[in-house]
Amino acid sequence: GAVVSQHPSWVICKSGTSVKIECRSLDFQATTMFWYRQFPKQSLMLMATSNEGSKATYEQGVEKDKFLINHASLTLSTLTVTSAHPEDSSFYICSADPGQGVLEQYFGPGTRLTVT
Amino acid sequence: ILNVEQSPQSLHVQEGDSTNFTCSFPSSNFYALHWYRWETAKSPEALFVMTLNGDEKKKGRISATLNTKEGYSYLYIKGSQPEDSATYLCAFTKTNAGKSTFGDGTTLTVKP
């Protein structure tokens, strides 16, 4: 149980285009999902907290107009990188919080974004 | 800014060796400390979540201890196997905020 999928697993896009990444909890409901970004040889950096039915909470320094987050249902959150630039190339990974006293987060496998 | 530090950054051991890693975190406003195992091309997998000072958790050959007063946790692997090769991440959750701050990880390579 507690499986989280992420799609796509990798994507290459041209500069100026937008890319949508989906994060799904497959066998549980998650009122809260988290989006992280990982730069090479660095730790997972929290970008934003996504809450079902409400606006996402962004961490300091993360542009909310550039990284659009939508948590439309209890099993799906999406991250859209708008007007992508090469510096947005990174590894993006989501996690889902089952809530109800469960302290663990369950992670997706991540998405490698390359902007050319 | 919360600093979560892990050491060593990487570790190479022979099959059968026992090993341990360290995670240090702020000792104030502690809520939980998590250990994850992350194999290449897979999702990070939760190993342990610890909340109480003095907690010791064990899963097979892997165990972890927690000292919230001094702000550190140890992860031990007894009799390392090649399949233990992975990056081990720790994450600190402050109060009941839900969100976690991650360390950079310790990458373990176990040679047969």
Confidence of residue B1 (pLDDT cuts 50, 70, 90): low
Considering only A58-72, B74-88, B91-105, which range has the smallest mean pLDDT?
B91-105
Confidence of residue B89 (pLDDT cuts 50, 70, 90): very high
Mean pLDDT of A5-34: 95
Mean pLDDT of A92-112: 88
The one-letter amino acid code at B90 reads: C
| HEC string for A61-115 | CCCCCCEEEEEEECCEEEEEECCCCHHHCEEEEEEEECCCCCCCCEECCCEEEEE
Residues of A in contact with B100 (CB under 8 A): 46, 105
Chain-chain contact of B99 with A49 (C-beta, under 8 angstroms): yes
Name the residue facing A42 among B4, B100, B104 (closest C-beta).
B104
Mean pLDDT of B69-81: 97
Distance (Å) from the alpha carbon of B105 to chain A's nearest alpha carbon: 7
| Other CB atoms within 10 Å distance of the CB of residue B39 | 13
DSSP bridge pairs for B49: B34
Chain-chain contact of A46 with B100 (C-beta, under 8 angstroms): yes
Mean pLDDT of A66-81: 94
Mean pLDDT of A83-96: 96
pLDDT score for A105? 87
Mean pLDDT of chain B: 93
Mean pLDDT of A40-62: 90
